[in-house]
Amino acid sequence: MLARKSIIPEEYVLARIAAENLRKPRIRDQPRKARFIAKSGACNLAHKNIREQGRFLQDIFTTLVDLKWRHTLVIFTMSFLCSWLLFAMMWWLVAFAHGDMDASTENCTSITKWTPCVTCVRSFTSAFLFSIEVQVTIGFGGRMMTEECPMAITVLILQNIVGLIINAVMLGCIFMKTAQAHRRAETLIFSRHAVIAVRNGRLCFMFRVGDLRKSMIISASVRIQVVRKTTTPEGEIIPIHQQDIPVDNPLESNNIFLVAPLIICHVIDKRSPLYDISASDLVNQDLELIVVLEGVVETTGITTQARTSYIAEEILWGHRFVPIVTEEEGVYAVDYSKFGNTIKVAAPRCSARELDEKPSILIQTLQKSELSHQNSLRKRNSMRRNNSMRRNNSMRRNNSSLIVPKVQFITPEGNQSVCET
């Protein structure tokens, strides 16, 4: 049987497919650079090929605290179950060695001449229940120790000591996981974007930080580091080169009073790694600015740390944060809905080095912004005038349409009367 041929010629179909492929440009997304610190503050770092795994067991408490909650709860449950089962086996062996499993001692309530090590322990199940009663100090009263077996007394002492150790370690681990310092950092927020604008005649790198809780962070301090890939004159490649940049703080103690959201400012001067970067160069820069906020929690006294980072795509040139703190009825109110909002302002597009060499660039930029502001005001005034004139004309037309015409009526006597309707 012959294959069925298409109605449309094959040459036409191939030409059409080729033309469609030419029309659609192929855009390949550039691979995004992995950031060192995520916006949430987590370190984007994976440890591989660690040979000395035993070092983690040397600090077992920190290892337990660093585990995930599901792993911690499994270890918490299994530690108690294993200890109960272990000592249940020991109690069963003590009872079996002493002969408490004989048929003559099956009735634990009967008074006989035989004195067991532990009363009413006739099987492994009863030994397991007695192990739980000893370690958790329940004491239902049905099973109890006697003076017959010194070995049983030794097992009792040993189980009490082991139970106290397990309680101390596991409860301490649970407490430390619930009271970790990074939990407090969840309410310390940073602005989504950072900005570069002119402040006091200098280009400045700025971002906003705030605290959502009423309890304050004592002795709060902010550090900024620039992480980039650099190459030394000898040809050595440093993939993560860290460099501290100073923060403009008028206080001598270098601490901030974080009672309300603050704008942290870094003046781009000769010491800054952003000194030679202009607005056009910022897009192509392979850098990451890491912000670290440290302080002591007022309620617990634990030192906490909040982190975030800004890459080149998250830095807005020529923007400024809008004010969010207002005074209402004698109380300062903070509008967190505008926490990360910015507005465009006049800022030179050149680098800070060029601005220091040619201060006239800043003056020209400010003059241009002033002229554009005046022109926008004139346009607004002219638009308001035109709108007011249109409204007046429309009102006049409406009033003219509402004028009542005069009508004359002639009576049979020949008198004329004028009425308005």
311-364 pLDDT per residue, tens: 988 999 989 999 998 888 888 889 999 999 999 988 888 888 888 888 777 666
pLDDT at residue 74, as a whole number: 92
Amino acid at site 397: R
pLDDT at residue 376, as a whole number: 65
Q: How many CB atoms lie within 10 A of CB 13?
A: 11
pTM, to two decimals: 0.66
Alpha carbon distance 31, 185 (integer Å): 31
Nearest-5° Cα angle at 66, 40 to 185: 35
Could you tell me what percentage of the chain is helix, strand and coil, using 3-state DSSP and rounding each to the nearest 5? 40, 25, 35
258-298 pLDDT per residue, tens: 888 999 999 998 888 888 888 888 888 888 899 999 998 88
pLDDT at residue 2, as a whole number: 41
pLDDT at residue 195, as a whole number: 93
Residue with the two structure tokens 């139970």: 163
Residue with the two structure tokens 């301490």: 172
| Mean pLDDT, each 10-residue run in order, the chain (421 residues) | 44 49 48 76 81 78 86 92 94 86 57 75 88 85 82 92 92 84 83 91 90 87 88 84 81 76 90 88 86 88 89 90 88 90 88 83 64 63 74 68 52 51 46
Mean pLDDT of all residues in the chain?
Answer: 79
